[in-house]
Amino acid sequence: MTNPLVSTNEGSDDSCEISNRFTDSMDLLHDSEALRQRAQEDGYLFFKGLLPRQEILDLRKDFLSVVDRYGWRKPGQDALGGEMDLDLLNMVPDEQIRSDIGVSEAAYKDVQKLESFHRFPHHDRLKALYKELFQDEVLVHPRHIARMVTGHRVMVPTPPHQDFPAIQGSTNTWTAWIPLGDCPRSMGGLSVLRSSDRLGYVPITLSKGAGGVAAQTCPWETDWAETDFEAGDVLTFPSLTIHKALRCQHRQFIRLSMDIRYQPKSEPVEIKSLYPHADIEWDDIYSNWVDDDLKYYWEKDSLTLDEWNPNLLQPSRRIC
């Protein structure tokens, strides 16, 4: 049995028209001035089919092999199928599930140990994109996030938020959101509030979901853009752009994606962006790697470190 939400467009929201679809910027890929102008206008850039589909699906297999170790995937599927055994998954106690990720802390550490997971953000096509955009040498943050959104009872959609309060450093730090498989809106893909980076830092309030905080939007801020993603698509935006996850309507399937961050090497970085995104040491992550070339790669650069500002994560009231 295969998962139709991975290999075809079945299960998508095509019957529900997208009123504000992402603008594809593939035609601007080698035009830095045009890229920056569109980014300034929209607060995001979207690239249809930027990455080779097969390479995305190979990484998906690696993620799902970890899920298999814990017995959460229903039997009878091929290596790409994402149908979960919710009864078994919900036997995992709430406190063991990372509600910002979707699986247990132990499973997430196993994903963090995947060499392929840490190697993929250095893909030539991704680094070329950001070098064109920044017109500067590119720092790939080593702190990669794997989202493995499941139907476990503790999971709720990621609320509207900016990345900047959590990562800080340069506001010119960009997130690449990459689905590992086809991800129609009904699977809970990402939506962006167009041009919201122009607002600057937006006060936060406490919220359920990944990060535990939400950006406070005003009633007239409704210009949300979205799409039905396919494997190979890349959505990217600066750290002040407000974005959120759509509600997943297929809770029996796992939704796999990556959050990767890039910035100009010449701009400051907050030191926690150089730590793993789990309670694990780099030496443990590297313990079974085949190649050494990416181990502690950022230490070869003379980076400017920025101080952490705890006030950015303190709830405050926004006046609309």
Q: With the C-alpha atoms ordered 109, 187, 247, 93, is the resulting torsion angle positive or negative? A: negative
pLDDT of residue 27: 97
**pLDDT per residue as tens digits for the range 17-28:** 677 899 999 999
Helix 105-112 × helix 53-69 angle, to 10°:
140
Does residue 160 form part of some domain? Answer: yes
**139 pLDDT more than 50:** yes
> Cβ neighbours of residue 271 under 8 Å, at least 6 residues apart?
305, 306, 308
pLDDT at site 247: 87
- Residue 284 scores a pLDDT above 50: yes
Structural domain count, the chain? 1
| Residue 95's pLDDT band (cuts 50, 70, 90) | very high
197 domain residue, yes or no: yes
Is 271 a residue whose pLDDT tops 90?
Answer: yes
Of the listed ranges 6-20, 26-40, 134-148, 273-287, the one predicted with least confidence = 6-20
Q: What percent of the chain has pLDDT over 70?
A: 95
In this prediction, residues 254-280 reach a mean pLDDT of 97
Q: Are 189 and 183 in contact (CB under 8 A)?
A: yes
Tokens encoding 16:
């529900």
Q: How far is CA 303 from the centre of its chain?
A: 24
Within 13 Å of residue 316, how many CA atoms lie on the same side as its CB? 11
**CA angle 182-187-188, nearest 5°?**
115
Other Cβ atoms closer than 10 A to 7: 15
CATH of the domain at 288: 2.60.120.620
**Per-residue confidence at 251, pLDDT binned at 50, 70, 90?**
confident
Classify residue 45: in a domain, yes or no.
yes
- The mean pLDDT of 73-99, rounded to a whole number, is 94
Q: How confident is the model at residue 5 (pLDDT cuts 50, 70, 90)?
A: very low
Amino acid identity, position 234? V
10-24, 48-62, 74-88, 229-243: which range is least confident on average? Answer: 10-24
Where does the pLDDT of residue 210 fall: very low under 50, low under 70, confident under 90, or very high at 90 and above?
A: confident
Range in 43-57, 148-162, 263-277 with the lowest mean pLDDT? 148-162
Domain membership of residue 278 (yes or no) is: yes
Question: What is the percentage of the chain residues whose pLDDT exceeds 90?
Answer: 87
Q: Is 67 exposed, middle or buried (0-12, 13-18, 19+ CB in 10 A)?
A: buried
Q: How far apart are CA 226 and CA 242, in angstroms?
A: 13
Is residue 10 domain-resident? no
In whole angstroms, what is the distance from residue 57 CA to residue 79 CA? 9
What is the pLDDT, as a whole number, of residue 16? 58
Q: How confident is the model at residue 15 (pLDDT cuts 50, 70, 90)?
A: very low
- Tell me whether residue 102 is in a domain: yes
Virtual torsion, Cα 122, 125, 129, 134, nearest 10 deg: 40
How does strand 138-140 pair with strand 190-193? unpaired
Is residue 4 in some structural domain? Answer: no
pLDDT, position 212: 85
Quote the domain boundaries for residue 225. 30-298
Q: Helical H runs in 115-198?
A: 115-119, 124-134, 164-167
pLDDT at 198 over 90: yes
55 has a pLDDT exceeding 60: yes
Q: Sign of the CA dihedral 78, 82, 84, 90?
A: positive
Interval 53-69 mean pLDDT: 98
Beta bridge partners of 46: 24, 235
pLDDT tens string 211-242? 788 999 999 999 999 999 999 999 999 999 99
Is residue 318 situated within a structural domain?
Answer: no
Q: What is the mean pLDDT of the chain?
A: 93
Answer for the pair 235, 176: CB distance below 8 angstroms, yes or no: yes
Query: What local confidence, expressed as pLDDT, does residue 8 receive?
Result: 32
Q: Is the pLDDT of residue 318 over 50?
A: yes
